[in-house]
Amino acid sequence: MATCLQVAVASCSIPSSSPATFSNRRSIRAFCSVNSRSSAKIPVPLVNPKDPFLKKLASVAANSPETFLYRPSNSDTPPYLDLFDSPQLMATPAQVERSVSYNEHRPRRPPPDLPSLLLHGRIVYIGMPLVPAVTELVVAELMYLQWMDPKEPIYVYINSTGTTRDDGETVGMETEGFAIYDAMMQLKNEIHTVAVGAAIGQACLLLAAGTKGNRFIMPHAKAMIQQPRVPSSGLMPASDVLIRAKEVIINRDILTELLAKHTGNSVETVASVMRRPFYMDSTKAKEFGVVDKILWRGQEKIMADEYSCNCCYER
């Protein structure tokens, strides 16, 4: 802007050979106007076209440079604000334009939720009791991952108390666990299951139902198997309570057979330990056949060193 004003003043200089030709300020302004318009176009510095103040000043400097020759000497008025009909010293925050360098890094749409991000990595996380909403989401994710790629493995992380809460209160029907189990069995993909935190009741069945050799448990995770529980009967008639009790016994027998199938134990053994809640740490869960491996940091290096030592010993 300073360059623009200097050029404007230079183009309006008065010739020294005729000092009496121009006697007043009006004639000087007229001469400057004619001289500036007849000369080359005054260069206008590059300014932000979205800034109304700089845009106005650049326009005035290019079209009427005589405006800047004789500015009013009024200290109460900020410079050049008289060029506007209704000057404003500062815009409101809502009117402030953000810079292009900031806007170009802003996301064009909201980021996806966490389950969607995990699903992109072929990870299904079961972190709640098995209620209908959880079952719906898990089964849908399993079917979607198979549709996306029927050959790549699916990783199921489990931290669930099954169809009960930690205090033993029933929150879902046993069919919720069986629905996820059947969906896992129908998939063509390998299912890698990982226990984090706890896998209790029906959640323990889902942990054991993974592909053999790819069932894992964290070092401090717990697994527990127990008998299904009768939901709250309330004011139900005795005949209805008996019907529910029979259904729970049927579910118990199915759960026992499935656990025996996936753990490699006999039905009698599983039924015997299920009479009371049977808790297992990571070591017991591996011994019982619920999982195949215990995951912990550094085990790959230790196993590799042990393998190399065994090879050297055999030689």
In this prediction, residue 253 carries a pLDDT of 94
Residues 187 and 289 reside in one and the same domain: yes
Give the 3-state DSSP-derived string for 112-158, with helices as H, strands as E and coil as C.
CCHHHHHHHCCEEEECCCCCHHHHHHHHHHHHHHHHHCCCCCEEEEE
In this prediction, residue 141 carries a pLDDT of 94
Which residue, 71, 103, 135, sits at the end of a domain?
103
In this prediction, residue 225 carries a pLDDT of 94
Residue 200, SS3 per DSSP: strand
Separation CA 171–CA 186 (nearest Å) = 26
Instruction: Tell me the pLDDT band of 173, cut-offs 50, 70 and 90.
Output: confident
Q: Are the CB atoms for 228 and 255 separated by under 8 Å?
A: yes
Q: Are the CB atoms for 116 and 93 separated by under 8 Å?
A: no
Q: For the residues 279-283, what does the mean pLDDT come to? A: 94
If one counts the domains in the chain, the total is: 2
Residue 108 lies in a domain: no
Of the listed ranges 143-147, 168-172, 218-222, the one predicted with least confidence: 168-172
Q: Are the CB atoms for 212 and 292 separated by under 8 Å?
A: yes
Q: Are the CB atoms for 173 and 244 separated by under 8 Å?
A: no
For tokens 């029907």, what's the residue? 173
Question: 68-82, 123-137, 290-304 — which one is most confidently predicted on average?
Answer: 123-137
* pLDDT tens by residue, 23-39: 444 444 444 444 444 44
**2, two tokens:** 């300073």
Distance of CA 241 to the CA centre of its chain: 46
Phi, psi (deg, nearest 5) at residue 280? -135, 130
In this prediction, residue 73 carries a pLDDT of 62
Q: Is the pLDDT of residue 96 over 50?
A: no
Strands (E), the chain: 123-126, 154-160, 191-200, 215-217, 222-225, 278-280, 293-294
Separation CA 100–CA 96 (nearest Å) = 12
Q: For the residues 166-181, what does the mean pLDDT come to? A: 86
**By residue range, what is the domain housing residue 51?**
2-103
Residues 125 and 93 reside in one and the same domain: no
Residue 298 lies in a domain: yes
Angle, CA 244 vertex, CA 238 and CA 246 arms, to 5°? 105
The torsion defined by the Cα of 75, 80, 82 and 83, in degrees rounded to 10, comes to 170
Q: Is the pLDDT of residue 199 over 90?
A: yes
In this prediction, residue 56 carries a pLDDT of 72
Which residue, 83, 103, 123, sits at the end of a domain?
103
Residues 163 and 293 reside in one and the same domain: yes
DSSP labels for 74-89?
A: -TTSPTTGGGSSS--S
Residues 159 and 305 reside in one and the same domain: yes
Residues 144 and 273 reside in one and the same domain: yes
Residues 188 and 291 reside in one and the same domain: yes
In this prediction, residue 180 carries a pLDDT of 96
* pLDDT tens by residue, 261-273: 999 999 999 999 9
Residues 92 and 149 reside in one and the same domain: no
The torsion defined by the Cα of 190, 195, 200 and 206, in degrees rounded to 10, comes to 0
Report the percentage of the chain scoring pLDDT > 90. Answer: 44
Residues 69 and 218 reside in one and the same domain: no
Q: Is the pLDDT of residue 312 over 70?
A: no
CATH code of the domain containing 161? 3.90.226.10
Residues 229 and 202 reside in one and the same domain: yes
Separation CA 126–CA 134 (nearest Å) = 8
Q: For the residues 75-100, what does the mean pLDDT come to? A: 52
Residue 21 lies in a domain: yes
In this prediction, residue 307 carries a pLDDT of 59
Burial of 144 (0-12, 13-18, 19+ CB in 10 A): exposed
Q: Are the CB atoms for 6 and 43 separated by under 8 Å?
A: no
- For residue 279, what are the β-bridge partners? 224
Which residue, 103, 133, 167, sits at the end of a domain?
103
Residues 197 and 219 reside in one and the same domain: yes
